[in-house]
A = this chain, B = another copy of it.
Amino acid sequence: MPKETAETMSARQKDISVAEFFAKNKHLLGFDNPRKALLTAVKEAVDNSLDACEEASILPNILVVIEDLVPGSAASNPHRFRVTVVDNGPGIVRKNIENVFGRLLFGSKFHRLKMSRGQQGIGISAAGMYGLITTGKPMGIHTRIKKGGMVVALELAINTKSNRAEVYREEGRADIPFPPTLSAVPVAYRHPKDFPTGTSVSIELEGIYRKGKGSVDEFLELVGIANPHAHITFVWPSRYYGGNSDESGVAESDATTERSGDSDNDGPGVEGIDTSIQTTTCGNITIFPRSVRELPKETVEIQPHPNGIELGTLLQMTKNAQLEDKNETLHKFLHTRFCCIDEDLADAFVDAIKLPRRVGLSALTHDNIQLLYKTFRAADLDTPPTDCLSPIGVRQMLSGLLKGLKAEFYAASSRPPTVYRGRPFQIEAGIAFGGEIDASDECRLLRLANRVPLQNLASSCCTTKATVEVNWKAYGLPQGKSCLPGGQVVIMLHMASVWVPFTSESKEAIADYDEIREEMKLALMECGRKLGIYMKKRASLLKERERRDVFKRYLGEVSKAVASVSGCNQTKLYKALFAQAEKKTALADASIDDAGNIVRRQHAALQRDDSVVVVEDRATVQVEENNKE
C-alpha cells in the first residue's frame, strides 16, 4: 500500500474551471431534471432578452419556440428539443458573442448595483453548456445590431475545461434572414419588421415538455403578467397541439405583434385599463399580448451605501481605488465611491477617524480602515437613492393581472422603496378575486423577483412566509393555520432590488430577511383591506336580496289570511303589498339584477380607487342558489 506524502499529494492538485464545476453540479443552476432543464433554458434566454430590450429602451417583442426533434416517442421520456428565443433588442457586438454565450461568470450586471433580471453572468452560458452535455450540439446564435445591417450567424460551444467558447461555424452577411427561418413558426409570427435588430439563440437539449405547474407555459404566462409592456409569442411543440389549447383564440390577422394588443384604443375597459386584452391561444401558438406601451422606468446604477458595506469589501475598494489613481485622497474616495456621502460628510468621516483632511488613501493603515468601517456602521445616514429601482407599478400590475386572469375584482399596491443591509428594495402586491378563478384550499401565489417569475422552492421563499403570516380571515377569505388563504383568489408578490437575496444560484426563492418579509406583509395587507371592503359589500348585497326574497315569499300567505279575516280582495291586497315590497327593496333591486350580478353603482367608492378594478359582468353572485324559492 503506497503511502501518500505531502509531495505525492501535491502533484495531483489542480485548477477546476468554473464551467467544470457547474457542469458536474448542474442541479445548482436549475438543471436538476429534464423538465426543469427545458424551463431553465427558456427562462435564462427570455430574462436576457427582456433586460437587453429595456436597457436599449425598446418595447420587447419576444418569440419563444420549442421544437420537438423526435416527435412520436413517449411524452414522459426525455426528448431532444430545440429551444429558440428571438428578441428585438439591440443585438450583441461581434467581439462579445463568445463571452456572453460561452463563458460562465461573465457579464455586465454583476459588478454594478442596478436592478436587472440577470445578475450573475451564468445563466445563458449554462443553458448552452447543458445542451452541449446532453446532445453534444453547439448553440446557434444570430444577431443584428443595426436595422438592415449585417446579420452575424454562428455556432459556438463552451469548452468546459477552459470556460471559453469555441466557434464552430460563422457567417456575417446582410442577407441572412433575421429572425432566422423557423419552419415551425408561420411567417406572420416572425416578421422581420417586428425584429429590426435583435438576437436569436438556439439550444438543442434533452428535456421533457409538459404543461401545468412549473412549466414553460406557466413561466411565460407569469412573465406576461409581470411585464405587461412585453409582447410574447410562444410556439410549442406541435405534437402537443389540441386538448390543452383554446381554439377560440387569435385569428391570422392578429398574428403580427404590432397589430395585436398594441392599439391605442383603450377598448371597453375600466379606469383607463383595457380589460379586453387577453392571452389567446390558437393551435400550438399562444400570444401574451402587450397591454401597456410604457417601458419600465429606466434605472440608474448606485454606489454602495456605507451602512451596508462589509469590512473586506471596504478594504478591497481602497485597494482598487489606488490602482485607478494612486494619489486619490480619502476625502475623494468617500464622496465619489459611496452613495449618501457629500463633501461635508466626507470631511466629517475623515475627522471622525482622526486623520488630516487631505490624507491620501495610500497612507491609510489597516487600523484606520477598520475604524472607518466602525464609523460607517454607526453613522446615521440617508437611505440610498431609490432611482435604481423600477417597480412594475400599480396600473401595470392591474393590466397584467387583467390580461392573465379572468377575475371579478383586482387590487394592487406598490410600497415605497426601503433598504435591507444597505441595499434598496421595493415590494409590490396584487390580488385577483372571483370570476373564473377556481376555488381552492390554498390559493395560487405568483412570486416575482425583478419581474422574473419564481416557480420552485415556494415553501422556503420569503413570499410564502409573508403571505401565510397575514390574517386573511379579516378580509373575508378562508385560511387554515400556517396556510395560504383559500377561496377564489390569486395573490401576486414582487420584489424589486439591486440585489435580490436568492437562496440558490438557480434563483428560485428569496431568502427570508425580516425587513423584506415585513414589507411584503404590509403590501399584502393593503390589497387585503380593499378586498375586504369588496367582500363586505358583496355579502351585504346578498343579505339584502335574501331579506327581500323571504319577504315576498310570505306575501301570498299574508294576503290570503288577511282576505279571509277582513273579506277584502286577496289579489288586490297582494298586488298592493308586492308594490310596497318592491319599493322598499328598490336599493337591493338596483344592486343585483335578475341573474344575481352585482351592478356598477355599488362600487363607486372602490372604483374611485385607482388601484382597484372591478369587472362587473364577471361578478356573478355565487350563493344565488340559496335565494331560489
Question: Taking beta carbons and an 8 Å cutoff, which residues of A are in contact with B?
Answer: 1, 3-7, 9-10, 12-18, 20-21, 23-25, 27-28, 52, 55-57, 90-93, 95-96, 99-100, 105-108, 110-112, 120-121, 129, 132-136, 145, 160-161, 197, 298, 310-313, 315-316, 320, 366, 369-370, 373, 499, 501, 503-505, 511
Contact = CB atoms under 8 A, between A and B. Distances in A.
A105 B132 CA distance: 22
Contact of A366 (B14, B24, B25, B136): B136
Nearest to A316: B160
> Looking at A110, A133, A136, which has the most chain B CB atoms within 10 Å of its CB?
A136
Contacts of A370: 136
Contact of A9 (B9, B15, B108, B129): B108
Contacts of A91: 6
Nearest to A7: B93
A93 B15 contact: no
Contacts of A313: 23, 133
Contacts of A108: 9, 12-14
A145 B5 contact: yes
Nearest to A369: B136
Contact of A105 (B1, B15, B99): B15
A111 B12 CA distance: 9
Contacts of A504: 28, 504
A373 B10 CA distance: 34
Contact of A6 (B23, B145, B310): B145
Nearest to A367: B136
A138 B174 CA distance: 56
A93 B10 contact: yes
Nearest to A144: B6
Contacts of A6: 56, 90-93, 145, 197
Nearest to A58: B3
A14 B57 CA distance: 22
B105 A16 contact: yes
B10 A312 contact: no
Contact of A56 (B9, B27, B499): B9
Contact of A14 (B111, B298, B312): B111
A160 B110 CA distance: 14
A310 B56 contact: no
B136 A56 contact: no
A18 B20 CA distance: 12
A511 B504 CA distance: 15
A142 to B, nearest CB: 14
A136 B3 contact: no
Q: How many copies does the complex hold?
A: 2
A15 B56 contact: no
A312 B136 contact: yes
B311 A25 contact: no
Contacts of A16: 105-107, 110-111, 120-121
Contact of A13 (B18, B55, B100, B135): B100
Contacts of A501: 27
A24 B6 CA distance: 33
B369 A110 contact: no
Given A106-B14, A133-B311, A298 B1 contact: yes
B134 A311 contact: yes
Given A5-B90, A12-B112, 7 more contacts: A6-B145, A9-B108, A10-B92, A12-B108, A20-B111, A25-B505, A504-B504
A3 B59 CA distance: 13
Contacts of A112: 12
Nearest to A323: B161
A55 B8 CA distance: 10
B13 A312 contact: no
Nearest to A373: B136
Contact of A95 (B10, B15, B129): B10
A121 B120 CA distance: 21
Contacts of A121: 16
A132 B92 CA distance: 38
Contacts of A99: 13, 15
A88 B312 CA distance: 32
Nearest to A95: B10
B107 A13 contact: yes
Contacts of A316: 160-161
Contacts of A5: 56, 90, 145
Contacts of A298: 1
Contacts of A20: 110-111
A57 to B, nearest CB: 5
A312 B132 contact: yes
B55 A4 contact: yes
A15 B5 CA distance: 37
A377 to B, nearest CB: 12
Contacts of A135: 311-312
B136 A18 contact: no
A115 B99 CA distance: 35
Contacts of A161: 316, 320
A311 B132 CA distance: 8
Given A100-B13, A161-B320, A21 B110 contact: yes
A129 B311 CA distance: 12
B28 A505 contact: yes
11 contacts: A4-B56, A5-B90, A7-B93, A9-B52, A10-B93, A18-B18, A27-B503, A133-B313, A134-B312, A136-B366, A161-B316
Nearest to A32: B511
Contacts of A15: 99, 105-106
A13 B14 CA distance: 28
Contacts of A1: 57, 298
A181 B461 CA distance: 46
A10 B15 CA distance: 29
Contacts of A13: 96, 99-100, 106-108
